[in-house]
A and B are shown apart, each in its own frame.
Chain A
Amino acid sequence: MSHIVIDENRCKACYLCIDECPKKLIKIGEKTNNLGAHLAEFNDPNHECLGCAMCATRCPDLAITAVYKD
């Protein structure tokens, strides 16, 4: 199952990954960082993730630390 791993300590809530995901699987989540900004959250109930790693290529903070592809 393709999926990504988001490190919540690194995410600075710039949301650039949200625009890149072709399946729109990354959303603004409920959790906040220490500045009060809502972190990006990966949500893939139907296993649609392609493992294309475009989100990780875009992420300027290396918050997407790993991408797995089937």
Chain B
Amino acid sequence: MATQVFKIADSFRKDVKYSFCPGCDHGVAIRLVAEVLDELGLREKTILAASIGCSVTAYDFLNVDSIEAPHGRALAEATGVKRARPDKFVFTYQGDGDFASIGLAESMHAALRGENLSAICINNTTYGMTGGQLGPTTLLGQVTTTSPTGRNIEYYGYPIKIAEHIALCDGTAFSARVSLDTIANIRKAKQAIKKAFEVQIKGLGFGFVEILSTCPTNWKMTPQQAHERVRNEMMPIFKPGIYKDVTAES
């Protein structure tokens, strides 16, 4: 008798299919979130603060209550929700442009205040939904539609390393960077998301996971080449790892 070892999580809406481009790792990230919500039994008490960008569509696929925030303000909105309803589980699912460019103040101050929230940031080094413009995490030398000769230091400055910055905030309980380029890394990513959710349940503070993802359409690559790029170009700069974990320190 065969046993089922993989199934679609209950926190995932089974009647819809992803609107992402073929090979986009957003799909894997949202699936991992749904699986963790299932495993922690949080679905019925979760409120998702949605962002702007490709990541906004998370509310179409996750079978949880959600509210929409203006661009970058998901964590400001989540702060209000959590303070009004501290019994609820509140998290945000954002892209790098949303989290670290237009919403950097909101994101950083949520971590500095030590808000009891969880945040997930998808880092694909570009603004995916609007056509591949230069974002805060665009790598040096990377060609985008708004940096046609490649990102240079003199004109555009350096990319931001989000997980390290969030880890420096005293209110942060957990900060990690993970990748989705291999099966082993996908499993590690799930563990990190679980940890970021657990610190909120325990009331320890701000839980954060940065996920290195792909954007095959705007990178003008096949899905396979996009994972190669994550491995060879992104991971040496954005090093995966756990940058802060108060549960391990204590």
Contacts and interface: CB of A to CB of B under 8 A. Distances in A.
Contacts of A37: 22
Interface stretch (B3-11, B51-59, B156-164, B168-176): B3-11
Contacts of B187: 57
Contacts of A51: 2, 5
B66 to A, nearest CB: 19
B6 A66 contact: yes
Contacts of B6: 53, 56-57, 64, 66-67
Contact of B17 (A10, A53, A57): A10
A61 B1 CA distance: 28
B183 A69 contact: no
Contacts of A2: 2
Interface in B197-229: 216, 223-224, 227
Interface in A11-69: 12-16, 19-20, 37, 51, 53-54, 56-62, 64-69
B24 to A, nearest CB: 6
A38 B43 CA distance: 36
Contact of B28 (A12, A54, A60, A68): A60
A60 B20 contact: yes
| Secondary structure dominating the interface of B | mixed
Contacts of A3: 2
B22 A14 contact: yes
Contacts of B7: 65-66
B16 to A, nearest CB: 10
B183 A9 contact: no
Contacts of A12: 18, 21-23
Given A51-B5, A54-B183, A60 B17 contact: no
B2 A68 contact: yes
Contacts of A16: 23, 223-224, 227
A50 B17 CA distance: 27
A60 B211 CA distance: 14
Contacts of A53: 5-6
Most chain A beta-carbon contacts within 10 A, residue among B1, B6, B28, B223: B6
Contact of B223 (A1, A15, A54): A15
Contacts of A59: 27-28
Interface of A: 1-3, 9-10, 12-16, 19-20, 37, 51, 53-54, 56-62, 64-70
Interface of B: 1-8, 12, 17-18, 20-28, 31, 183, 186-187, 216, 223-224, 227
